[in-house]
Chain A
Amino acid sequence: MIDIFINNLPILIVTVPLMMSLFVVLVTNSHLSFLLTLATTFITFLIAILLYQEVQSYSSISYALGNWLPPLGIEYVIDHVSIIPIIIISGIGFLATLFAYKIMPSELSDSSISKTYGLWLLAISGLIGLVTTGDAFNLFVFLEISSLASVALVAMGAKQDRQALIAAYNYLIIGAVGATFYVIGVGLLYAITGTLNLADITSKLALMEDNRALIAGFGFMVVGIMIKAAVFPLHIWLPRAYAYAPSAVSILLAATATKASLYILARILFSVFLPSENIVSFTLTYIILPLSVFAMFAGTIMAIYEKDIKRLLAHSSIAQIGYITLAFSIGTKSSVAAGFIHMSNHALIKGGLFMAITSISYYIQKRVTIENLSGLGKAMPITFCCFIICSLSLAGLPLTAGFVSKLYLIKSAISSEGLWLSFMILFSSALSLIYLWKMIEALWLSPLNKQDIKIKEKPVIYTSLLLITFLNIYFGLDASLIVNSSFNASNLLLGINK
């Protein structure tokens, strides 16, 4: 019995949330639907941990869906690389669910809560499926599942602010374009290789000269995924979507959605198209690297001039995605590892920041802008402390998780590209202190509004905030877990020779 369970873990991690999402929609009681969602995300997280342990001992698990062996059947692959986004998505999914308990009812009508949780689980399942599957077309399916679920989740924000509908519509259209691009790319590759299995595509490409269909297929796939990953300048759907989605949804999306796509991007660049080295290195140096540098600055500068905090954080996400793609674009083992390190750490940081802002808006019952933050540090010390720690972590200051990622990122930049790139990184991270400091100053030094004096912080709200803040500090002090798994991942992706 246990054997069956263990053997089927790679599919269970996708199907458990998928099946439960259908079930949760049917439950009318909002409390019950919350409990079911929480239990499901917890189980998903447990499965992810079990998978992590298996990966440590077997290094790569291949699972043939329905016993149809690859390359004909659909293959699920869990290895050192894909386990990182799996852990991020399931872990943050659980924490965000825990946090959503009081937040959801405050923003949504009672009847729509269970539907939202249904979509929530569907999105999680889609994202996990996205990173586990080893099949190009199956990947497209999960891409659509996760996007459609996220679009619907964003649209749920319409009760608070009608702008959510526009945001969702934008997200839908641009997301659909991205997915279409991706599937066109897959079609082209299928035409020349005759297979849909990603590993098999690689081996077929190795026997082939560079040709137009291959280049076009590569281009379509990469651009499609870059849209989904909100790589600058394909990011325009993101700020609105994060800003007007229901707060709990923003947390989930900000911490997980783009990470899955970034993982796919790394997989396509470094493992699927490994044989066509010329195209990949050209793309990395002349397209992704400059775009990432632009992203770092554009995102940060937009954030500096933004008054609405959720949008501000969304802009800062664009800059942070820039760091990750920059790390990938340098293309050495240590830089790709740095990218994965920052991927995990950024999920913790942004998750924490969005949670802190959401708790503040829950307490003051308003949209959070710079003016509304005035003096709240005194009224809500715990939230304030967590916010500061996560901010410092975002800026990459010592003893926080963000410092570790910045350290490795700069080290890899200096050792391969020289000083100029690391100055760029540091300059933009110093700029990011400006918008963070604007918020901290408002919280700490501005006078407190009278109606906010009576605010009392509630344990239901701050428990998961404290947890995620603790993780930010913990992984700043003992980063060996993240660092080692990221280096394992980059070793596997780039092979021994690089």
Chain B
Amino acid sequence: MISIENYILLTIISPLLVSILTPFLSNNVFLRDLIGPLGGIFSSWGAIEIARSVLNGTQPSIEIFQIAEGLTINFNITPLGAIFGIVASFLWVFAAIYSVGYMRGNKEKNQTRFFSFYAVAIHAALCIAYSGNLLTLFIFYEILTFSTYPLITHKQDEVAKKAGRIYMTILVGSSILLLLPAIIWVWVTTGTLEMSQNGILSGKLDPKYAPYLLMMFVFGIGKAAVIPLHSWLPAAMVAPTPVSALLHAVAVVKAGVFTMLIVLTNVFGIQYLADTGSSRWLIGLACITLISTSIIAIFKDDLKARLAYSTISQLSYITLGGALASSYAAQGAALHIVTHAAGKITLFFVAGAIYVGAHISKISELNGQGKSMPFIFLAFFIASLSIIGVPPMGGSWSKLFLMMGAVESDYLFVIIVLCISTILNVYYLMEIPARAFFSKKNKNIDIKIPNLMIIPTMITCLFTIILFFYIEPFKNLTLLMVGK
């Protein structure tokens, strides 16, 4: 019987081990590419066991070491952390397989370096998920930023250099200038960095300062891509598609909204937010982000850019869910981390497959290509339905809960915003399969997509459907999160 502490270690150390071993296996390509998915399997095994134990009502924790008095690196698994842990580790398995197919199919250089940093990023994301205090959270937040820099600048050309600059400026700048002092402010007022389920600020921080502290957190967490900090995400799309798929649809951005949610629920506390109303402005900001980026997405012809803007808009659903300060909305936000991850990773997988197989990256060039790659576009169609929130797809649950949350907290205009956004989703996502299947083909292209790319795409696509029927465990975790 493996103890729960060891499962935590298993989950977070597997990716680290993968990243350390990869450079040593650079001569044996088969083995090097095998350990990625293998590490993913071990990691998700641990993550599932942890989630099961959390479901049984425990709160597993483990202290790694102490930097100085009062500054410890420790892991303490919250229900939300367990959810994010499963999402990041589980999808890594498929993203790892897919990236092997992509890197080989596209004949990319420096593959060893790529796989190594890829695993470090996953490690950092998992550590964020399980972090027990704000210090641990901040440390791995920064590691995640820095470990993705070599991935974004993978091509090492001028475009990559520019994108890398935007990426680093926004993410590092915001975290150093706002997130760090916000964390230290909490430290000074409460005397602790440990988070707790009902928040730690109530009774400690004068409510009139709460909106400012929240503002520092919201604009400090650049990874959550709230306007005006969103422009790093489209810039990051110069990276190879597996990076965009796992990191910029799942690990990095979800780490951002996860941080946002955990700050809202476990630092401020839903009750404190509802009582003081300090998150009211954030509802407005999230709605603006949500609508405006959806509109921008319509006008993007580059497939990955459109998906990037769609991601920004979807992230704001999660921020919105936290800001509404009601338990249904928080549940919806947590569920959206899961359902959006499955949908968006599929969409990016498809974009990468089209790029490798047909060298198309523009939507206007997709006309009539549906017949030559039917499965790929079918996957895109199904995943789009999930993002839009049509039953029987997983995405319908999170939207339902968000709307219930809007009713519960009496912000009815949020429902209208969600409806408008859904319509916009339909508009910019459905255009792609529609063009592929119903438009006339304007050129013939030889299409060769490696199986290593098609299979993971199909599997993640299946998840979007499975999640509709099998949402129960996740829902129970979110119930634990809001303390019901």
Contact = CB atoms under 8 A, between A and B. Distances in A.
Interface in B172-223: 172-173, 176-177, 180-181, 184-185, 187-188
A478 interface: yes
Given A404-B67, A426-B176, A414 B139 contact: no
Main secondary structure of the interface of B (DSSP, over half): helix
A427 B173 CA distance: 9
A445 B156 CA distance: 5
A437 interface: yes
**Main DSSP-derived SS at the A contact region:** helix
Contacts of A404: 67-68, 71
B133 interface: no
Contacts of A392: 146
Interface stretch (A53-61, A295-303, A415-423): A415-423
B19 to A, nearest CB: 15
A430 B177 contact: yes
Contact of B172 (A433, A476, A480): A433
Contacts of A423: 177, 181
Interface string A392-430: 100111110000101100110011000100110011011
Contacts of B67: 404, 476-480
A444 B146 CA distance: 14
Contact of B153 (A407, A445, A484): A445
A441 interface: yes
Contacts of B24: none
Of B67, B160, B177, the most chain A CB neighbours within 10 A belong to B67
A110 B69 CA distance: 50
A181 to B, nearest CB: 38
Contacts, number: 79
B142 interface: yes
A422 B160 CA distance: 33
A479 B68 contact: yes
For A415, A426, A477, which residue has the most chain B Cβ atoms within 10 angstroms? A426
A422 B65 contact: no
B3 interface: no
B181 A407 contact: no
Interface residues of A, number: 32
A411 B187 contact: yes
A476 B138 CA distance: 14
A114 B417 CA distance: 78
Contacts of B475: none
A414 B180 contact: no
Interface string A465-498: 0000000000011111001100000000000000
B181 A422 contact: yes
A370 B180 CA distance: 30
Contacts of A410: 180-181, 184
Contact of B177 (A407, A411, A427, A484): A427
Interface string B120-142: 00000000000000000011001
B408 to A, nearest CB: 34
Contacts of B173: 430, 433
B159 to A, nearest CB: 11
A301 B156 CA distance: 27
B161 A483 contact: no
Given A414-B185, A414-B188, A422-B184, A398 B160 contact: no
B454 interface: no
Interface string B135-172: 00011001100100010010010001100110010001
Interface of B: 65-69, 71, 138-139, 142-143, 146, 150, 153, 156, 160-161, 164-165, 168, 172-173, 176-177, 180-181, 184-185, 187-188
17 contacts: A395-B176, A398-B142, A410-B180, A414-B181, A414-B188, A419-B185, A423-B181, A426-B180, A427-B177, A430-B172, A433-B173, A437-B168, A441-B165, A477-B65, A478-B66, A480-B67, A480-B68
Give me the 10 closest cross-chain CB pairs, A-B, nearest first.
A398-B139, A483-B68, A479-B68, A415-B188, A430-B176, A480-B68, A398-B142, A445-B161, A414-B188, A410-B184
Given A397-B146, A411-B184, 4 more contacts: A398-B138, A411-B187, A419-B185, A477-B65
